[in-house]
Homo-oligomer: A and B are copies of this chain.
Amino acid sequence: MKLSELSEQSGVPIASIKFYRRENLLPPGRSLGATTADYDESHVRRLKLIRAMTRFGGLSVAAVRDVLAALEEPHSPVEVLGIVDYAIPADLPEDAETTDGGPSWAADLIERMGWDVSDHSPHRAALDARMRALHRLGMDWDIEELLPYARLAEQVAHLDAARIELPADPEILAERVVVFSTLFGPVMPLLRRFAHENQARGRIADV
């Protein structure tokens, strides 16, 4: 396929493709003359991966190059999981995306869980933005699949509640909540990553 078609199929603008070529992140196409080249499915796959790493993973070009180099070696799927998992920072900045007034995953989920959550919660829009982005990238989630996560989140919140005291002074309380949410909040995703790695290694052992 031609450059324009590669851009269309991968969803990556031509200027970006040329940049990735210059940076040697994308291998050359088969030369069809001085100015044209023929690209194939392997280029589409590579571009999608580069895009995922830079756009969602927040990786620098140098970090992407390291991951791609690691993937060049023969690896089992589980090893690939490990390479990528170690490369992506555990905490990522919030996506700035806003809602477009479409159907709300958050509203459905909150209703199904019977939760009492303000309509003004900023976390509703944040959840919807993520679910929509996943949908656009071909990862569709049924609300039924999300519910088990919500039930586990509820158990985590119960552990938290047993841990956070409620001092009467609003400033002391506010300070405790900031410290707890910002420093302890990200501990859970780290534990999840350990559990992933442990599981992945178990899968090797099972084979």
Chain A: residues with CB nearer than 8 A to chain B? Answer: 42, 45-46, 48-49, 52-53, 56-58, 67, 71, 75, 77-78, 80-86, 88-95, 106, 109-110, 113, 115-118, 120-123, 126-127, 130-131, 133-134, 137, 139, 145-146, 148-150, 152-161, 163, 166-199, 201-202
Docked CA distance A158–B181 (Å): 24
Chain B residues lying within 8 Å of A187, measured Cβ to Cβ, are 127, 130-131, 146, 149
Q: Copy number in this complex?
A: 2
Give me 30 A-to-B residue pairs in the complex whose CB atoms sit less than 8 angstroms apart, sorted by A's number: A46-B171, A48-B171, A48-B175, A49-B171, A57-B182, A75-B170, A77-B167, A77-B168, A80-B174, A80-B177, A82-B118, A83-B174, A86-B120, A90-B94, A90-B123, A92-B185, A109-B194, A116-B201, A117-B197, A117-B198, A126-B190, A127-B190, A130-B186, A134-B184, A153-B195, A154-B198, A157-B196, A158-B199, A161-B199, A185-B189
* Residue with the highest number of chain B CB atoms closer than 10 Å, among A95, A130, A153: A153
Residues of chain B within 8 A (CB-CB) of A185 are: 92, 189, 192
How far does the alpha carbon of A168 sit from the alpha carbon of B154 in the complex, in Å? 35
Q: Which of B109, B183, B194 touches A137 (beta carbons < 8 Å)?
A: B183
Q: Tell me the nearest residue of chain B to A86, going by C-beta.
A: B122
The interface residues of chain B lying within 8 Å CB-to-CB of A194 are: 106, 109-110, 113, 115, 117, 121, 123, 150, 153
